[in-house]
Amino acid sequence: MRLGKFLASAGVASRRAAEEVIRAGRVTVAGSVVTDPARDVADEDGVAVDGTRVRVPAARVVYAVNKPAGVVSTAHDPQGRPTVVSLVPANLRLYPVGRLDIDTTGLILLTNDGELAHRLTHPRFEVPKAYRAVVSRPPVREPALRALREGVELDDGRTSPAVVQRVAADALEITIHEGRKRQVRRMCEAVGHPVRRLVRVRFGPLELGSLRTGGVRELTPDEVNALRLATARGDAGG
């Protein structure tokens, strides 16, 4: 297994982040620093990060969390704020699949399966994520809806077309497959309706459902398999 994938599978970080850790010289194999993420390694090779041995866990798990406001989407926070990882009562090294803004609530996934996390978050795989947005300056009229559906020009480029439904005069359900920083908030502001409250209600085939705020549950094998299947488009696209 390649070193970058090994670290992701061991729950160190997502595959892209693991490659950065390797290039920074923080990883050793059999006591020697290795900076090539493509280096082939096995569990018995003695892979360590910052001097601590890491291994690929025998069991890979995925948890769904209903993130409350004020909780950060990281494994550790230097400012001491609560993290989504701290909400999971499991003695495992987990990390979030993507991020939600600190003031955004709703569905976020945590896992120790780096390969799955990579596939769920990389734009190539186009896994959709749906958000319920309560916005200012209602009602939201057809020109704003049409702009969101066709793509909005932001400071980091035009967004891909979104699937948008108006569910109330001041509420939209917006489905995107990109993952830019604060993207839904910036899209709504660009069409004249700043977001007052934002909840992620779906990630690929998985819905938030009735999971309470701050609640956690481990996904079933069928649900994890459905998440894997949701990334199949990226394989088809080569």
Joined together, the tokens standing for residue 128 give: 């959709």
What are the residues whose beta carbons fall under 8 Å from the beta carbon of 11, sequence distance 6 or more?
A: 54, 57, 92, 93, 94, 95, 111, 112, 113, 114
Q: Regarding beta strands 129-135 and 171-176, do their DSSP bridges make them parallel or antiparallel, or are they unpaired?
A: antiparallel
Tell me the C-alpha to C-alpha distance, in Å, between residue 203 and each of 29, 76, 78, 92, 175: 36, 23, 28, 22, 9
Q: Is 45 a catalytic residue?
A: no
CA-only gyration radius of the chain, Å: 19
CA distance readout (Å), 224 to 83, 127, 189, 190, 231:
23, 14, 34, 35, 11
Rounded to an integer, what is the distance from CA 230 to the centroid of its chain?
14
Active-site option among 101, 155, 170, 235 = 101
In angstroms, how far is CA 97 from the centroid of its own chain? 3
Under 8 Å between Cβ of 160 and 179 = no
Q: Look at strands 195-203 and 105-111 and give their pairing.
A: parallel
Q: Which residues are catalytic?
A: 101
